[in-house]
Amino acid sequence: MNTAIAAKRAAFRELHRQGCFVLPNPWDIGSARYLEMLGFQALASTSSGAAWSVGQCDGAMSLDAVLAHLEVMAAATALPLNADFEHGFADTPDGVAANVARACKTGIAGVSIEDTTKHAAEPLFSLADATQRIRAARSAIDAAGGDVLLVGRADGLFAGQPDMNDILTRLRAYADAGADVLYAPGLTAEDQVSAVVRAVAPKPVNVLATPAFTVERLAALGVRRISVGGALARAAWGGFMRAAQEIAEKGSFAELTRAASGRELNAFMRD
């Protein structure tokens, strides 16, 4: 194995042993390098941010396109990268295993697998099926050397099924099936966060950042890592959309005064 990739994976695993760190989500090489410059210790891809950057909706990118994106992002900085690998791009455990094996070859340090089906009528896999998919991902990682972290995601809150008892049951099952890190995106209350941390202890928990939380408070609740999902990409899109809409609708350019300095960006990109 490439020694640089091995070092990233070892550093990523070490980050999960104690404390709390923020895992921001860039969507291209420039945003990844800027986050590295700010001093973050690890990064995560964002399925939504990546899709929007190529004119697609979240979840519409093909497996091959996502794998190519992950390879570019993993090589973009010296930081370990956790892959937002959606539902594994397969309906069966064997398919998940095959695709996770391919993802491990891109240089990622971690991979997240959701329990979503991408079918509106039944948005979540059954507990049994979802657990089998995590177990299959675990087997694929172990066969590849075992140094990529596996994140088990319970997406009930995002899928319109906000039963916390079911979410906790799923997270426990994913932990038992071999997930190294557990993640239930959409938590908005401290008691929810505490319940997740207790349910899967001592395994580390990832929480999706919201304005309701701070790093300090989530750390105090026992959270090991904090990601932002597509929020940074949405923030960038928000600035672009406001400026473009002002030009199109008003014929004025005031929003452009809030743009980043071209000189500053060029200086950063040259470093």
Tokens matching residue 61: 């990118």
How many other C-beta atoms are found inside a 10 Å radius of the C-beta of residue 111? 25
233-268 confidence digits (pLDDT tens):
999 999 999 999 999 999 999 999 999 999 999 999
CATH number of the structural domain 3-229: 3.20.20.60
pLDDT over 80 (residue 216): yes
Q: Which residue has the higher pLDDT, 269 or 248?
A: 248
What is residue 236's predicted lDDT score, i.e. its pLDDT?
A: 98
Q: What does the CA dihedral 116, 119, 121, 126 come to, rounded to 10 degrees? A: -40
23: phi then psi, degrees, rounded to nearest 5:
-115, 85
Angle formed at CA 246 by CA 241 and CA 251, multiple of 5 degrees: 145
Is the distance from CB of 167 to CB of 200 less than 8 angstroms? no
- For range 81-85, the mean pLDDT: 98
In angstroms, rounded to a whole number, what is the distance separating the alpha carbons of residues 128 and 135?
A: 11
- pTM of model > 0.95: yes
Q: In 105-182, which residue ranges form alpha helices assigned H by DSSP?
A: 127-143, 164-176
Task: Please state, for a pLDDT cut of 90, what percent of the chain lies above it.
Answer: 97
34-77 confidence digits (pLDDT tens):
999 999 999 999 999 999 999 999 999 999 999 999 999 999 99
- Output DSSP code: residue 211: T
What is residue 44's predicted lDDT score, i.e. its pLDDT?
A: 98
Instruction: For tokens 């060029």, name the residue.
Output: 266
Is the distance from CB of 26 to CB of 49 less than 8 angstroms? yes
Domain ranges of the chain: 3-229, 235-271
Round the average pLDDT of the chain to a whole number and report it.
97
110-135 confidence digits (pLDDT tens):
999 999 999 999 999 999 999 999 99
What is residue 270's predicted lDDT score, i.e. its pLDDT?
A: 85
- Output DSSP code: residue 154: -
How many other C-beta atoms are found inside a 10 Å radius of the C-beta of residue 180? 17
- For range 158-169, the mean pLDDT: 97
pLDDT over 90 (residue 83): yes
- For range 12-19, the mean pLDDT: 98
178: phi then psi, degrees, rounded to nearest 5:
120, 5
Exposed / middle / buried, residue 184 (Cβ in 10 Å: 0-12, 13-18, 19+): buried
164-174 confidence digits (pLDDT tens):
999 999 999 99
